[in-house]
Amino acid sequence: MNTSAQTPSARVGQPPLTRELLRASLRSWYSNEMRRVGPWWLQLVWTFVFCCVVAVGFTIIGFWGYADGEGAWRNWRGWAYWYGLNLVVSLCVGYTIHALFDLTAWLFKAERIRRWRGWRQALYFIAVPVTGLAIGWPLGVWIISFEQPWLLKGMGANGIAGSVLIGLLISAVFSVHFRTKEKQLLAERSATEAQLRLLQGQMEPHFMFNTLANVLALMDHDTPKAKAMLEAFTEYLRRSLTHLRRDVGPLAAELELAETYLKLLGTRMEDRLRYRIEADEHARQQPLPPLLLQPLVENAVHHGLEPKVEGGTVRITARVEGRLLVLEVHDDGLGPDAPKRRAGAGGNGVALDNLRQRLLSRYGTEATLDVSAANPGTRARLVLPLDPLSTAESA
């Protein structure tokens, strides 16, 4: 992934199938977050692979219980035959459970299910697989018995009951395994999110030193301006620290932080920096993680307007489009095709890379980030899914 702040177009919503994306997609498949990462068909692939593994387990158990004679275990044609039958049953069960998870996520809203805790969450993630087993197993047996009518007769009532119990046992084992992996995933994600937010919220040393140096320089000949700059700097620090302590906050707080930052730089750049913030009340109330907008504003000023002699304007807009929150930061500066500033000038590529990682970790492929030429300047467009519950409450 290109980490350059001058990237003409950088997308989070349509990433290539890298090893990191495949790993994230697999984790989202077995996690309890009901948020899928990667293309939709990839989730079907993971279910298929899982069914193939389960079919191996059923085949081994079947040979252990019913194989007769020494040569039975070396009968590879028999292994392939029974594996094929078990695979049909496993696929019916697996895709039935998959469909039930998708159906209930649509009916009850995935965001609502993610907020369930305790017995409610445990009941849901037990009830769906058991219901899928109750539907998919008879369906699979019916399909294979249609071609092999002797199968059900040969199994008998005890055999059928034993198969169902084995299926329930295997489901319980995998359920415990997935719950353990889920806890590990949540712990890793929390640690990663905390680290990325810390890096994202750290101000570059040159920005802090330049601000304080400007304050000291102004103290000798323009004390009121020095005082105004120091007050703006203090307010920016206060809001930044407050944001770092939040897991989720309203967009209004993010816009206030961006405005404080622009006011601070305005005391230094004076009429070279102008800004406009346009957001309706509905958009301002939408919850989102902190410090998603700030890196885009910093990037617009640092790379677009500061190197430009006459400066320019930063325009921040926020609006709701259907079930999406659209944030745009547009500057009429030098644009993404301008020569890059020297490394010591404090490039913001790492901050944008952290932002992309946070989006992928929290929203999967539901969120997109585009940075492109606007003629003049650069436009950064950030699109996030709305919280369904907040949408319902505001309707």
What's the pLDDT tens digit per position in 147-174?
555 455 445 555 556 556 656 666 666 5
State the Cα–Cα distance between residues 123 and 266, nearest whole angstrom: 55
Amino acid at 18: T
Give yes or no: residues 227 and 151 share one domain: no
Give CA separation, 252 vs 18, 293, 387, in Å.
Answer: 35, 11, 16
- Weakest mean pLDDT among 253-257, 273-277, 354-358: 354-358
Among residues 180, 196, 212, which one ends one of the domains? 196
Mean pLDDT of all residues belonging to the chain: 76
Integer Cα distance of 241 and 259 in angstroms:
15
Q: Are residues 151 and 221 in the same domain?
A: no
Q: Nearest to residue 32, comparing CAs of 82, 101, 80?
A: 101
Residue at a domain's end among 171, 196, 221: 196
- Indicate whether 149 and 221 sit together in one domain: no
Q: Which whole number is the average pLDDT over 14-36?
A: 73
Least confident of 261-275, 299-313, 343-357: 343-357
* Cα gap 285→319, rounded to integer Å: 11
| Residue 175, burial from CB neighbour count under 10 angstroms (0-12, 13-18, 19+) | middle
Q: Is the domain of 175 the same as that of 238?
A: no
Residue 74 maps to a domain: yes
Residue 47 has what pLDDT? Answer: 92
Residues 6+ apart with CB under 8 A from 226: 214, 215, 216, 218, 219
pLDDT at 175: 61
Pair 244, 197: CB distance under 8 Å? yes
Residue 206 and residue 190 in one domain: no
Q: What strand order describes the sheet that includes 378-385?
A: 273-279, 312-321, 324-331, 378-385, 368-373
Residues contacting 65, CB < 8 A, separation 6+: none
Question: Which has more confidence, 7 or 337?
Answer: 337
pLDDT over threshold 70, residue 30: yes
Q: Measuring CA to CA, how many Å separate 391 from each of 34, 106, 279?
A: 18, 15, 16
Instruction: Please give the pLDDT value at position 65.
Output: 65
Per-residue pLDDT for 326 more than 80?
yes
Q: Which domain holds residue 76?
A: 31-196
* pLDDT of res. 167: 60
Distance from C-alpha of 346 to C-alpha of 269, rounded to nearest angstrom: 17
In angstroms, rounded to a whole number, what is the distance separating the alpha carbons of residues 84 and 225?
80
Element containing residue 249 per DSSP (H, E)? strand 249-250
The answer as to whether 94 is a domain residue is: yes
- Helix, strand, coil in percent for the chain, rounding step 5: 65, 10, 20
pLDDT band at 318 (very low <50, low <70, confident <90, very high): very high
How many angstroms separate the CA atoms of 304 and 298, rounded? 10
Residue 177: the pLDDT is: 57
Residue with tokens 């292994």: 79
**Residue 350: predicted pLDDT:** 63
Residue 252 has pLDDT above 80, yes or no: yes
Distance of CA 265 to the CA centre of its chain: 32
CB 361 within 8 A of CB 11: no
Could you tell me if 295 and 351 are in contact, meaning their C-beta atoms sit under 8 angstroms apart?
yes
How confident is the model over 337-353, as a mean pLDDT? 59
Confirm whether 2 is domain-assigned.
no
Please give the sequence-ordered ranges of beta strands (E in DSSP) within 256-385, or none if there are none: 273-279, 287-288, 312-321, 324-331, 368-373, 378-385
**Are 168 and 285 in the same domain?**
no
> What does the pLDDT look like over 223-246, one tens digit per residue?
888 888 888 888 877 777 676 666
- Taking the C-alpha atoms of residue 230 and residue 391, their distance in angstroms, rounded to an integer, is 40
pLDDT digit string, tens, across residues 177-234: 556 665 665 666 666 666 655 555 555 555 666 777 778 877 877 788 888 888 888 8
Summarised one tens digit per residue, pLDDT across range 110-124 is 778 877 777 787 788
Per-residue model confidence (pLDDT) at position 198: 59
Which of 260, 370, 262, 261 is CA-nearest to residue 313?
A: 262
How large a percentage of the chain has pLDDT more than 70? 69
Last residue of one domain, picked from the residues 150, 174, 196: 196
Residues 182 and 129 in one domain: yes
Residues 117 and 216 in one domain: no
* pLDDT mean over 274-280: 93
Residue 23 domain flag: no
Q: Which of 93-97, 107-111, 330-334 has the lowest mean pLDDT?
A: 107-111
The count of structural domains within the chain is 2
Integer Cα distance of 277 and 254 in angstroms: 11
Q: Are residues 280 and 165 in the same domain?
A: no
Q: Are residues 245 and 275 in the same domain?
A: yes
Under DSSP, is residue 163 helix (H, G, I), strand (E, B) or coil? helix
Residue in the block written with tokens 């712990």: 187
Statement to judge: residues 247 and 381 lie in one domain: yes
3-state secondary structure of 376: coil
CA gap 64, 42 in Å, rounded: 34
Residue-level pLDDT at 315: 95
Comparing 67 with 345, which gets the higher pLDDT?
Answer: 67
Quick one: which of 59, 102, 86 has its CA closest to 140?
86
Identify the pLDDT of residue 382: 94
Strand pairing of 273-279 and 312-321? parallel
At residue 302, does pLDDT exceed 50? yes
Identify whether 176 is part of a domain: yes
* DSSP β-ladder status, 324-331 and 312-321: antiparallel
Indicate whether 245 belongs to any domain.
yes
d(CA 61, CA 13): 43
Give me the pLDDT at residue 389, please.
44
Whether residue 227 lies inside any domain: the answer is yes
pLDDT at position 13 is 42
Asked if 66 and 189 sit in the same domain, the reply is: yes
Residue 24 lies in a domain: no
**CA torsion through residues 77, 79, 84, 89, sign:** positive
The CATH number of the domain where 359 resides is what?
3.30.565.10
Residue reference for tokens 């044609």? 77
